[in-house]
């Protein structure tokens, strides 16, 4: 008799063969066969407290490695909990795969246990979503998901795994195992003719600008943009956040956009973050788009019109421009634009709280920067509204992750844990407000249990401050409502969950508190009482 394998065995062995052994998961009825099958493999199952955390951890893993992070959750409510978190990964173009258990196929349409239209639910926040239907070929489904997550514009992919497909057995000699070619797609380069055409157009511009996509929000991506800037003597920036021209990390970005006469979109969609090509861009500013997705090119052409558009993957296209480009002799525009991007008001160096027992956000980040500088491999995660925006504006770090174009909040604590799975030794800092902290504070227990240390700097102003400032701006200071929070001792919450906790109420306490947190070798929460300050915006008059 030939040996047989369950569908669950095929799934876990496919992941193992592909080198995906770090799995972020929360158990449930529909996927217990996967847990059982994993015992016979090298897979490491990291069990969390909420399904959304599996996605945020996989998101962090994907951003830092460039390889798909893997999340496993059960079907029905487990899948529903996970799906919302995919929106963050989609906005940041993160390669990851969500594998969800699913009602048995023979119960579909009959009111099966936790039956849900899972594929339909996930599809809007994924590159692709489908349900496996055949046990012998379920490994090919997993391979397809891994391949799609990294090909073209990277992003999350969902695969639903019905319990009967996982539990069924098939002869091992009938299993269709994926090959290396099934797991990855070859990159789509920018051909020489298109490269030369783009470079020729850029040469006709007096003030060209390169804007990179969120997929470049990595150490290698930031380095690529710097090399493009140096090779072509053209300013290059990264558009990775929802605040567009008010992006706290880009200084007087709107001033650069206003003066540009040509913009090269390097994998970057012409979306709301760029005002769809409207002001501050001048009416006669011309646009070039290089994008992995032809639909995005068509959309840009309809929205603004393109001087040139072509399909190519973002990283190879950037390298092609560097290889065939020439340095411009006049550096005036580059110097002017770079000065705008780097612009921070001199007064920030002296900003301090006017309130006893509280810090100004600027004091927090002036103190944190030296800790980031100690190790070039340090990881910084900025999550949430006004407090984190100060961090994005003031802190310098190439391994930085933000909540992203989706504008979602709450991901930072599980993302810090996911980052620790990748980065074994360098410090990991998460910067977040007290509202944001509440989303996943239970994941501190996960980090303690799995020995995934990081330092979370929580700015506590007892308010949903971003929303409060929206109310003040749009409706007036006398019409603020529903945004207040308690002065909760989040440091004590962390300690109760087995982590290290610190309370900071003055600037001279902060450095030592961070140092003690690092020395604890535990997940740590530094609860900093701060003034409720709007996010910074750099504008030139």
DSSP state of 304: T
> Which token pair is 160?
């639903």
In sign, the C-alpha dihedral spanning 487, 490, 491, 492 is positive
What gap in Å lies between CA 80 and CA 121, rounded to an integer? Answer: 8
In this prediction, residues 108-123 reach a mean pLDDT of 89
Query: Is 68 in contact with 95 (CB distance < 8 Å)?
Result: yes
What gap in Å lies between CA 345 and CA 540, rounded to an integer? Answer: 10
pLDDT of residue 107: 83
Q: Is the pLDDT of residue 541 over 70?
A: no
What gap in Å lies between CA 370 and CA 335, rounded to an integer? Answer: 27
Three-state secondary structure call for residue 405: coil
pLDDT of residue 159: 98
pLDDT of residue 540: 55
Q: What are phi and psi of 326, to 5 degrees?
A: -125, 150
- Average pLDDT over the chain reads 95
Give the model confidence (pLDDT) of 480-510 as tens digits: 888 899 999 999 999 999 999 999 999 999 9
Mean pLDDT lowest for which of 175-179, 275-279, 383-387? 383-387
pLDDT of residue 537: 76
Q: Is the pLDDT of residue 2 over 70?
A: no
Q: Is the pLDDT of residue 230 over 90?
A: yes
Three-state secondary structure call for residue 157: strand
Q: What residue ranges in 425-518 does DSSP mark as E strands?
A: 428-433, 455-460, 500-504
pLDDT confidence band for 178 (50 / 70 / 90): very high
C-alpha pair distances (Å), 233 with each of 205, 224, 259, 265: 12, 13, 16, 16
In this prediction, residues 63-88 reach a mean pLDDT of 97
What gap in Å lies between CA 325 and CA 319, rounded to an integer? Answer: 10
Give the model confidence (pLDDT) of 425-445 as tens digits: 999 999 999 999 999 999 999
Q: What is the 3-state secondary structure (H, E, C) of 470-491?
A: HHHHHHCHHHCCCCECCCCCHH
Domains in the chain (CATH in brackets) are: 4-183 (3.40.50.970), 192-341 (3.40.50.1220), 346-529 (3.40.50.970)
Q: Is the pLDDT of residue 109 over 90?
A: no
Q: Is the pLDDT of residue 76 over 70?
A: yes
Q: Measured in Å, how far apart are the chain's first and last C-alpha atoms?
A: 81
Enumerate residues 6+ apart whose C-beta is below 8 A from 128: 145, 148, 157, 158
Side-by-side strand order, sheet with 286-291: 236-238, 208-212, 262-266, 286-291, 308-311
Q: What are phi and psi of 11, to 5 degrees?
A: -60, -50
pLDDT of residue 477: 87
Q: Is the pLDDT of residue 136 over 80?
A: yes
Mean pLDDT lowest for which of 217-226, 488-497, 528-537? 528-537
In this prediction, residues 346-363 reach a mean pLDDT of 95
In this prediction, residues 407-418 reach a mean pLDDT of 95
In sign, the C-alpha dihedral spanning 294, 89, 465, 395 is negative
**44: Cα separation from own chain's centroid:** 23
What gap in Å lies between CA 517 and CA 511, rounded to an integer? Answer: 10
In this prediction, residues 172-197 reach a mean pLDDT of 95
Q: Is the pLDDT of residue 92 over 70?
A: yes
Q: How much of the chain exceeds pLDDT 70, in percent?
A: 99
Give the model confidence (pLDDT) of 55-65 as tens digits: 999 999 999 99
């Amino acid at each position: 008799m030939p040996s047989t394998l369950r569908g669950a065995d095929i799934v876990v062995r496919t992941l193992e063969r592909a080198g995906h052994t770090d799995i972020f998961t929360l158990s449930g009825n529909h996927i217990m066969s996967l847990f059982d099958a994993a015992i016979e493999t090298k897979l490491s199952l990291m069990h969390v407290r909420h399904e959304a955390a599996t996605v945020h951890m996989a998101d962090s893993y994907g951003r830092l490695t460039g390889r798909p992070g893997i999340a496993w959750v059960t079907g029905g409510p487990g899948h529903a909990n996970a799906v919302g978190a995919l929106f963050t990964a989609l906005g940041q173009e993160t390669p990851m795969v969500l594998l969800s258990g699913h009602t048995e196929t023979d119960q579909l349409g009959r009111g099966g246990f936790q039956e849900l239209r899972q594929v339909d639910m996930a599809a809007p926040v994924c590159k692709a979503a489908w349900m496996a239907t055949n046990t012998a070929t379920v490994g090919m489904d997993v391979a397809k998901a891994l391949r799609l997550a990294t090909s073209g514009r990277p992003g999350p992919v969902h695969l639903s795994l019905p319990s009967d497909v996982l539990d069924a057995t098939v002869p091992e000699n009938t299993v269709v195992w994926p090959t290396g070619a099934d797991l990855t797609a070859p990159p789509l380069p920018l051909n020489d003719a298109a490269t030369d055409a783009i470079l020729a157009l850029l040469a006709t511009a007096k003030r060209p600008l390169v804007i990179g996509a969120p997929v470049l929000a990595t150490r290698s991506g930031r380095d690529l943009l710097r090399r493009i800037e140096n090779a072509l003597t053209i300013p290059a920036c990264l558009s990775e956040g929802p605040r567009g021209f008010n992006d706290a990390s880009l200084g007087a970005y709107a001033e650069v956009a206003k003066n540009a006469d040509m913009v090269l979109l390097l994998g970057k969609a012409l979306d709301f973050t760029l005002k769809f090509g409207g002001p501050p861009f001048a009416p006669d500013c011309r646009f070039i788009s290089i994008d992995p997705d032809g639909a995005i090119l068509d959309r840009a052409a309809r929205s603004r019109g393109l001087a040139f558009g072509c399909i190519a993957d973002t990283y190879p296209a950037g390298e092609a421009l560097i290889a065939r480009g020439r340095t411009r002799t006049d550096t005036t525009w580059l110097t002017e634009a770079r000065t705008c991007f780097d612009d921070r008001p001199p007064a920030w160096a002296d900003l301090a709280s006017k309130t006893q027992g509280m810090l100004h956000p600027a004091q927090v980040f002036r103190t944190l920067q030296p800790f980031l500088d100690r190790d070039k491999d340090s990881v910084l995660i900025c999550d949430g509204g006004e407090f984190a925006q100060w961090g994005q504006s003031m802190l310098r770090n190439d391994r930085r992750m933000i909540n992203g174009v989706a504008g979602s909040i709450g991901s930072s604590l599980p993302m810090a844990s996911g980052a620790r799975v990748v980065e074994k030794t360098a410090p990991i800092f998460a910067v977040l407000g007290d509202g944001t902290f509440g989303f996943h504070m239970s994941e501190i227990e996960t980090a303690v249990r799995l020995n995934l240390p990081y330092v979370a700097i929580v700015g506590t102003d007892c308010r949903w401050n971003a929303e409060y400032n929206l109310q003040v701006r749009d409706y007036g200071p006398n019409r603020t409502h529903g945004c207040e929070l308690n002065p909760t001792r989040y440091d004590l919450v962390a300690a109760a969950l087995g982590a290290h906790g610190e309370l900071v109420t003055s600037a001279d306490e902060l450095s030592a508190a961070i140092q003690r947190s690092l020395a604890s070798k535990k997940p740590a929460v530094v609860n900093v009482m701060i003034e409720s300050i709007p996010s910074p915006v750099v504008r030139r008059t």
